[in-house]
Structure formats: C-alpha cells, structure tokens
Amino acid sequence: MKVAIAGYGVVGSGVAEMLIKNRETIAQAIGQDICLEYVVDIREVDLPEDVELTDDIDRVLGDPDVKVLFETIGGARIAYEYTQKALSRGIGVITSNKELVATRGDELRELARQKGAWYLCEAAVCGGVPVLRPLKTDLAGNRILHLNGIVNGSTNFLLTRMEETRMTFNAALAEAKSLGYLEADPTADVDGLDARRKLAILANAAFGARLSDDRLIPTTGIGRVTQRDLHAARLMGGALKLIAHARRTEEGWTGWVHPSFVPDGHPLVGVRDVFNGLCVNGDCVGDVMFYGQGAGRLPTASALIGDLVELARNLDRPVSCDVLPVVPFVAPDEEPVRAVIRVEGDVLPLCEAIPVEDVRSDGPLNAVLTTDMPLKELKERIGIVRRMGSELGVPLIGLC
C-alpha cells in the first residue's frame, strides 16, 4: 500500500521518519507493508531514499496505488484544496490540522462519506494521546456527560513556568519562544483559539457537535493572567489551568475555554509543562483520563500513524464511526459554575454581590470561592463590583 505526505514540515517529516524507522512494527499492526511513495511540497526538502518529491498533487492522487494522503500542511487554504481533491477521488486523508478540521471539517466529512473515503484527525487533539478513537469506539456505548481538558501544551507550559519560577507572563512567553514551544505569532495559543478548535473536535466526537460551531464557544485566553491570579488559586488549594470544558445539556451541548481553578486532588492538577490531559465523564464508565504529550514531532506522528492503522484495516469498508447526529451548541449562560475570584483589598463588595462559600486571605490579596451560580449572572455581578472600583482578577471557573 502506497501513501503520500503533503507538507514536509515538522509533522510531515516526523511521519516519514516513523514510517521508515518502525516499518516492521507498522506492517505487523496493519498486516501489510506501507510504502511512502511521494512527498508533496514546493520547498527543496531532504527526503529519505526512494521517496519522490513533487509539487504536483494531481499526479500523486492520480497514482491508483496511493490509498492515503497525510495532510500535514496546516492552515485552511492549500490544505483544504488538497484534502478536497483526495477525498473526491475516494482517497483517505489523515490530518493533524485542527484549523482545517474545525473550520471546514463538516463539509469535508460529508464529502468523505459520499465518496466512501476516510477523513481522520486523531492527531489534531492532544497530539500523541489517543482521545478521539477511544471516544468513538471504547466509550461509544456511554452517553458522555461532560469533559474537561488541558489541550494546549504551549499555554500549559507558560502557566507551569510562571508557577515554578514566579516569572511574569512576558518572561515565560520569551522563554517558550526560545525553546520553540510557541509560534512566532503566539496569538492562537495564548488567546485560547487553538484550545477552542480542539474543544469543537472533542465535542463532535463526544456529543455529535457541529465542528464549525467552534466559533460560538466563549473563549478567554491566558494573556491577562498574572502571578497574583496563580497565587489566589494556590491560596484556595489548587492551581490555575487553561481548561476547555464541554457538557451535554437538555437541548444540545455547551462549553467554554477559560482560565480555571483546578482543586488539588483533581486528576488534571498534575498535568504540567507541555503535557495535555483530558478527563471524560460517561454515564456508565464514570471519569476516565487520558494524558501525555500533546504536541511534538514524533508524538504527533504517532497519532497520524494510529489513524493509518485503523484506515488500512478498514480500507474497503464504509466509514462507520462518524454517524452522530448534529447536536446544537447552546451558550453556557445558564450553566451553573463555581469560580475563584481574586480581590485586592476590600473583599466586602464582592461578598455582598455573590453567594460565597469560602474566603482566604494573604495580606492584601483575597481569594473568594463562589457557590454554584449561572455563568452569565456571575459575570454580570462581577462586572458591577468592578465598576464600583474593586480590583478583581479574571474569575477562574472552578472544576469539581
């Protein structure tokens, strides 16, 4: 069986390396040998022996022996065009491109279904950690009730470094850039957009959400997080993490991406550095967690090859695991949340405005834990207190 890679950057070259290095292991898992025949790229790149470099996607897709295209280009333009062409010819596409999956995935999935081709994207969420296939197979007999994830390794690294060394956000940002953990323009990570895309893909696997509803998910990044917010979380007996949250509701599903308070003892509290973790709650299985490296060249390649193993075992049969109905997104306004709020100075105005469960102080810094109340109402009341002149931090939505 022949395969091709489109886009020979960090991830694409990782796939090539793994295909060659673990050729025997992969052949054993699939039951046949996999041959990397083409790499499609416009740059002059160094390729392994016997692999042909070309910029002509049509010629590659026209080779009747090519059964799978790895799309590791990124972005939603050329990647879309190539994916669309491959699926139209009934060629399976395996991708790590969460931007494309979140923005055009609904349409591409439908095309794949019509053409009897597979479009798989395990690598788009939590890198090498298996999450989508377990949701769609192992846990598929459960009604998934809710999930919470640390799905962006870069921001988790920033928060971990700020916590460990007490450095500022900007200093941590500079360090992460120098280590190659952040893009030159880190906006998509820092503002939570990357996490939001991954949440949409997870909600699709868990509830049957529309992928493009990613745009509707309320999202707050970590750009405004300070040492004092981290300190407030510690004071309250936990840690500050950027959490992607989704929950089944009566009418559909809801969710958000937001800096959150994770109490000590919660399985996600130990997820540090560039690691990812996902907690899923199913009506029968209870809580299950998946944990590992959410990014990186070979961990991401591992997930792409996992998809190849499934695809190659099922090449000649209809796509069977994407049959979920489309479930609507509902804004989380009415969702009951708990929050930890940092207050500098007088804590009284806040305690008068919201129902409070616990207050802890360390000098002029106070941390207030609210009881469950609807998210929208909580935000309104916090807004009022802020306008009255109190200095409050970003409210950290609490996980239980």
Residue 363: count of CB within 10 angstroms of its CB? 7
Per annotation, catalytic residue among 67, 98, 136, 198: 198
> Binding its own copies by CB under 8 A: which of 4, 6, 11, 26?
26
d(CA 28, CA 186): 40
Torsion angle of C-alpha atoms 181, 48, 57, 89, degrees rounded to 10: -100
| 44 three-state secondary structure | coil
> Which one of 9, 90, 134, 349 is in contact with its own copies (CB under 8 A)?
134
User: CA distances (Å), 315 to each of 21, 87, 277, 312, 398, in order?
Assistant: 23, 13, 31, 5, 44
Q: Which of 291, 356, 374, 379 binds its own copies (CB under 8 A)?
A: 291
Burial label, 216 (beta-carbon count in 10 A; 0-12, 13-18, 19+): middle
In the structure, how many helices (H) and strands (E) does the chain have? 14, 17
Min dist. Cβ of residue 388 to its own copies (A) = 41
Q: Is 198 one of the annotated active-site residues of the chain? A: yes
Residue 11 in the binding site for its own copies (CB under 8 A): no
C-alpha dist (Å) from residue 93 to 143, 173, 183, 398? 28, 34, 25, 38
Counted residue by residue, the chain has a size of 400
One-letter amino acid for residue 143 of the chain? R
Task: State yes or no: residue 56 binds its own copies (CB under 8 A).
Answer: no
Site for its own copies in 233-272 (CB under 8 A): 265, 267, 269-270
131 or 193, CB closer to its own copies? Answer: 131
Binding mask 141-160 for its own copies (x = CB under 8 A): xxx-----------------
Q: Does 94 bind its own copies (CB under 8 A)?
A: no
Q: CA–CA distance from 97 to each of 161, 232, 341, 379 (Å)?
A: 27, 36, 35, 34
Stretch that binds its own copies, among 213-221, 237-245, 295-303, 341-349 (CB under 8 A): 295-303
Question: Cα–Cα distance between 144 and 253 in angstroms, integer?
Answer: 11
- Where does this chain touch its own copies (CB under 8 A) — which range of 41-49, 108-116, 280-288, 376-384? 280-288
Q: Whose Cβ is closer to its own copies: residue 143's or residue 224's?
A: 143
Binding residues for its own copies, rule CB under 8 A, total 57
78 vs 140, beta carbon nearer its own copies:
140
Q: Which of 7, 74, 105, 130 binds its own copies (CB under 8 A)?
A: 130
Asked if residue 31 binds its own copies (CB under 8 A), the reply is: yes
Active site residues: 198
Could you list the residues that contact its own copies (CB under 8 A)?
18, 21-22, 25-26, 28-29, 31, 122, 128-130, 133-134, 136-143, 265, 267, 269-270, 282-293, 296, 298-299, 301-303, 305-306, 308-310, 313-314, 317, 320-321, 323-325
